Amino acid sequence: MKILVLNNDLMERTVIQQVLQRNGHEIIPAENSDIAMHLLQQGEIRFVIADRATTDIDEKQFIKRIREAKPPYYIYILLIALKVQDTDVTTPRMGADDYLHKPIVPIELKSRMYIGERILALGDNLIQARGDAKNMAVFDPLTNALNQSAFLTLSRGELERARRAQSSLSLIALDIDNFKSINDRYGKDIGNDVLTIVSQSIREKSRPYDGVARYEDDMFFLILPGVIGQDAEKIAERILKGIYNINISLLDGTAVNVNLSAGIASAMQITASTEIEMLIQKATEAVKQAKREGGNQVYTVFL
């Protein structure tokens, strides 16, 4: 870890250096607050050791400046002081994270360093957990497509934009023709692999800004703002052809044949009475009709 050391006492700096180097840290020295701020702005420094008695950190409000700068990651500050002031305790959000009394005792400094590292690690883990939770709330964990809830939020927004602009909008439902037989014959793990491959192929064959979602089981939805009729059919046919051309085989070489059917609900103009639930229902009915007619084809209904 890179540690910024703001201390002008030679003896103390030597003690700090010995403790940090023994623990594999890289020392970044600074003589005053301005130099220290410049070093922090370059990034990568997460830990600061600052001495109140031998530097200008109080005069320049160094710690407050760090907090107000709001860097993209948390900077842990260990303050070296003769005594802790009342303001250090009453304004924790603007103050140091921990305090070390003079004179510096190596074992105590090592202990404070260990505590600081643990707190930074816990904070990083919490941020990652929040990010993971956020992704889990938006994406289907198996296929990495949008989940049903996220798709409904996205599609309602696209519907409202189309309504205000009086523009067209299409919704494609994509369903694997023989998914039940794949699961029954090869097992759920192979079925999950098929879902993942199908999802990836749908995203590759659609436009980057089209919302692709795994709506339920083996049914996927694709919302197409500004697309109507034949253009929506061309997109659906491109996806079906892409799936048909994928070679999926087991470890023993057995081929797994996968086909898709597509149902399109296409609205030339979104009116005040148009709701996303109606489009979903019509697209679902359309894909069922495509299956009834033999599968591996596109069926379109116009609203």
Q: What is the pLDDT of residue 244?
A: 83
pTM over 0.85, yes/no: no
Q: What is the pLDDT of residue 90?
A: 46
Same domain flag for 194 and 298: yes
Same domain flag for 251 and 290: yes
Final residue in a domain of this structure, among 116, 137, 158: 137
Residues 198-223 as b or e (16 or more Cβ within 10 Å = b): bbbbbbebbeeebbbbbbeebbbbbb
Does residue 32 lie in a domain region? yes
Nearest to 268 by CA among 228, 221, 213: 228
Distance CA 176, CA 207 (A): 21
Same domain flag for 89 and 122: yes
Residue 249 has what DSSP assignment? B
Which tokens go with 169? 């909008």
Does residue 142 lie in a domain region? no
Same domain flag for 234 and 201: yes
pLDDT in tens, 164-221: 888 889 999 999 998 999 999 989 999 999 999 999 999 888 876 677 899 999 999 9
Which tokens go with 168? 């067209």
Which helix (H) or strand (E) element contains residue 124?
helix 106-138
Which tokens go with 296? 């591996």
Range of the domain at 20: 2-137
Are residues 239 and 201 in contact, defined by beta-carbon separation less than 8 angstroms?
yes
Q: What is the pLDDT of residue 162?
A: 85
Same domain flag for 159 and 295: yes
3-class secondary-structure state, position 206: coil
Does residue 270 lie in a domain region? yes
Does residue 36 lie in a domain region? yes
Does residue 205 lie in a domain region? yes
Catalytic residues: 218
Same domain flag for 155 and 241: yes
Low-confidence ranges of the chain (pLDDT < 50): 90
Q: How many domains does the chain have?
A: 2
Q: What is the pLDDT of residue 136?
A: 65
Which helix (H) or strand (E) element contains residue 238?
helix 229-244
Which tokens go with 14? 């030597």
CB atoms inside a 10 Å sphere around CB 19: 20
